[in-house]
Amino acid sequence: MDWKPDRKAKKAIYKQLAEYIENGIADGSFPTDKPLPSERYLATELQINRSTVVAAYDELESNGLIKRKRGSGTTISKDIWGITKKRIPSWRRYIESGSFLPNLPVVQRIRKEMVEHKLINLASGELSEDLFPIDSLREIISTRSFNGSLGYDHPQGNEILRNTITKHVQRYRRIETNPSSILITSGAQQALHLVVQCLLKPGDAVALEEPSYSYSLPIFKSAGLRPFYLPVNKDGIDPDDLLSLHKKHRIRMIFLNPIFQNPTGTLLHIDRRKKILELSSEHGIPVIEDDPYSLTSYTGEETPTLKSMDTHGNVLYISSLSKIVASGLRIGWIIGPKPVIERLSDAKQLVDFGHASFTQWIANDFLESDIFDSHIINLVKQLEKRRNQIVTSLRSYLKNKVDFHLPQGGIHLWCKLNKNINEVLLLEESIKRGVIYVPGSTMGLNKGFIRFTFARENEANINEGIKRFADAFNSI
Ligand SMILES: Cc1ncc(COP(=O)(O)O)c(C=O)c1O
């Protein structure tokens, strides 16, 4: 319960509580078709005397707002029009019937736990604060004289930044493009969302990797699409699976995260890349390449992006600064044929009138600075150390009770549990012990997997987190 009485206020606590409940009835937080919380529950939650709760309920009852019946609890009166201050829309019904689907309940639960409790965080797919280039960003902010416009910027995003991204993707991802084929987005997330909303229609079949980050997103189902899944093994998806899916369902678009995939950390094999591009042009299926991780290779080996191999213009390329600079900048981009980019940028205008200028120039100056290269080298070194730590800890505390593929880049480790275990119970036991991660079922169909993210905590915390996880695992 978020609300707490103000113990220093002059107003008696029972009055405050009565008002809180009345407002909650009015704004739909206490739905009219559900019983109100019990006296005992409220007394414990709010740490007040039960008699205070009774007094609040007495007041609401005498105003005709609620009914109390022995045995069946306290309910909201059926006829309360005119009694409360406002008319009451059934907010719950609105909340439940909106066409944009909510996050999976387990994802909501994980987020709530992370906000409310101090847990060792092996769940958030982001870097820890100490991996952000804070000093360089601070210097950019303090030394740069901002002389750009503060009006609405170009619908595709700031032109200087798009120029810089053109050079950046050519140098680091071997992609040839130009500023008019780029749209700046609020992270890769918004780019995915715009693609789904603008380029597909309800009933369209799309192919997603399984497991994958896309699997966990409700945006596909919200848009009325029919997702079909392509199993990911150590070399990524099998192009033959794509072909058979296409024959059966006429796939309209395929979403891939080919480099250091979230969650498996795998690389899509070069032969499979070629085959997928061939299939894409043979059957006219667009490929959405979601690539936030390609600059995080620990071996220094460069894997060509699909976009760099795409000679026919079949690939829309999405990336962002979230996993290599700072997720809070919310800078992402999508590269594709000009008409597609114009369509998406028109939609982005409708959604938010374009990207905030300040983070665009900070991103621009950082990408342009001499620090960028050394930042990436240092980041990758730190990520590799953390990857090594999680592997050492898993081997030490869980030995052969788990299996995993060793990622050569990225920030995630996909772990298979060699024991049939109740996923919900394992998560609860882990939270109790102060560690959180993402249960595999949010990202794929198969049971018995866990996604550990090792970028969000330092090595000592990773070790402690895995120790606590092992304790939870062994307790079940
Ligand atoms: C594969 C993949 N795509 C997209 C995103 C969204 O990231 P952002 O919007 O911060 O760029 C994530 C985040 O975890 C991801 O792993």
Write down the pTM of the prediction: 0.87
Query: Within this chain, do residues 93 and 167 fall inside the same structural domain, yes or no?
Result: no
* Residue pLDDT, tens place only, 235-248: 999 999 999 999 99
* 3 within a domain of the structure (yes/no): no
Residues contacting 317, CB < 8 A, separation 6+: 169, 173, 175, 289, 291, 305, 306, 307, 334, 335, 336
Query: Within this chain, do residues 446 and 351 fall inside the same structural domain, yes or no?
Result: no
Q: Which of 334, 351, 369 is the last residue of a domain?
A: 369
Closest CA to 310 of 295, 289, 290: 289
30-41 per-residue burial string, b: 16 or more CB within 10 A, e: under 16:
bbeeeebbebee
Ligand 1 binding pocket includes 414 (Cβ within 6 Å): no
Query: Within this chain, do residues 380 and 357 fall inside the same structural domain, yes or no?
Result: no
Helices 13-26 & 50-62 angle (0-180, nearest 10): 50
Cis peptide before 35 (omega within 30 of 0): no
Query: Within this chain, do residues 201 and 85 fall inside the same structural domain, yes or no?
Result: no
Query: Within this chain, do residues 319 and 465 fall inside the same structural domain, yes or no?
Result: no
* Residue pLDDT, tens place only, 140-152: 999 877 766 788 9
* Token representation of residue 293: 């991780």
Q: How many CA atoms lie within 13 A of 111 on its CB side?
A: 8
* 134 within a domain of the structure (yes/no): no
**Rounded-to-10 torsion of CA 204, 208, 211, 215:** -50
Query: Within this chain, do residues 309 and 421 fall inside the same structural domain, yes or no?
Result: no
Ligand 1 binding pocket includes 16 (Cβ within 6 Å): no
Query: Which stretches of 269-337 are DSSP H helices?
Result: 270-283, 306-309
Ligand 1 binding pocket includes 52 (Cβ within 6 Å): no
Would you say 315 and 428 are in contact if contact means Cβ atoms under 8 Å apart? no
The CATH number assigned to the domain holding 318 equals 3.40.640.10
* Residue nearest ligand 1's atom 16 by CA: 262
pLDDT at 73: 87
Q: Which atom of ligand 1 is the closest one to the Cα of 189?
A: 9
Distance (angstroms) between ligand 1 centre and the Cα of 189 equals 6
pLDDT at 71: 77
Domains held by the chain: number: 3
- DSSP label at 297? B
Mutation choice for ligand 1 from 110, 189, 317, 456, CB with most ligand atoms inside 8 A:
189
Q: Which of 369, 384, 408 is the last residue of a domain?
A: 369
Distance (angstroms) between ligand 1 centre and the Cα of 454 equals 15
Query: Within this chain, do residues 163 and 297 fall inside the same structural domain, yes or no?
Result: yes
Distance (angstroms) between ligand 1 centre and the Cα of 365 equals 22
* 5 within a domain of the structure (yes/no): no
Closest CA to 452 of 420, 392, 412, 416: 412
pLDDT at 316: 98
Query: Within this chain, do residues 69 and 109 fall inside the same structural domain, yes or no?
Result: no
The β-bridge relationship of strands 315-320 and 287-290 is parallel
Distance (angstroms) between ligand 1 centre and the Cα of 176 equals 23
In the chain, which stretches have pLDDT less than 50?
none
State how far the Cα of 276 lies from the Cα of 237, in Å rounded to an integer. Answer: 9
Query: Within this chain, do residues 403 and 270 fall inside the same structural domain, yes or no?
Result: no
* 139 within a domain of the structure (yes/no): no
Distance (angstroms) between ligand 1 centre and the Cα of 262 equals 9
* Residue nearest ligand 1's atom 13 by CA: 125
* 359 within a domain of the structure (yes/no): yes
Strand order in 205-210's β-sheet?
182-185, 332-335, 315-320, 287-290, 251-256, 205-210, 226-233, 236-237
The separation between the first and the last C-alpha atoms of the chain, rounded to the nearest angstrom, is 30
Give the range of the structural domain holding residue 387, as residue numbers without chain letter. 105-125+374-475
* Token representation of residue 270: 């070069």
The β-bridge relationship of strands 182-185 and 205-210 is unpaired
Query: Within this chain, do residues 251 and 221 fall inside the same structural domain, yes or no?
Result: yes
Q: Which of 349, 369, 389 is the last residue of a domain?
A: 369
Mutation choice for ligand 1 from 192, 217, 261, 320, CB with most ligand atoms inside 8 A:
320
The CATH number assigned to the domain holding 54 equals 1.10.10.10
Distance (angstroms) between ligand 1 centre and the Cα of 249 equals 27
State how far the Cα of 214 lies from the Cα of 153, in Å rounded to an integer. Answer: 30
Q: Which atom of ligand 1 is the closest one to the Cα of 320?
A: 11
Q: Within its chain, how far is the Cα of 15 from the centroid? A: 41
The CATH number assigned to the domain holding 380 equals 3.90.1150.10
* 136 within a domain of the structure (yes/no): no
Ligand 1 binding pocket includes 290 (Cβ within 6 Å): yes
State how far the Cα of 79 lies from the Cα of 473, in Å rounded to an integer. Answer: 51
Residues contacting 329, CB < 8 A, separation 6+: 321, 322, 359, 362, 363
* 131 within a domain of the structure (yes/no): no
Query: Within this chain, do residues 222 and 327 fall inside the same structural domain, yes or no?
Result: yes
Closest CA to 154 of 353, 433, 399, 384: 353
Distance (angstroms) between ligand 1 centre and the Cα of 81 equals 47
* 30 within a domain of the structure (yes/no): yes
pLDDT at 1: 80
pLDDT at 144: 76
Query: Within this chain, do residues 314 and 436 fall inside the same structural domain, yes or no?
Result: no
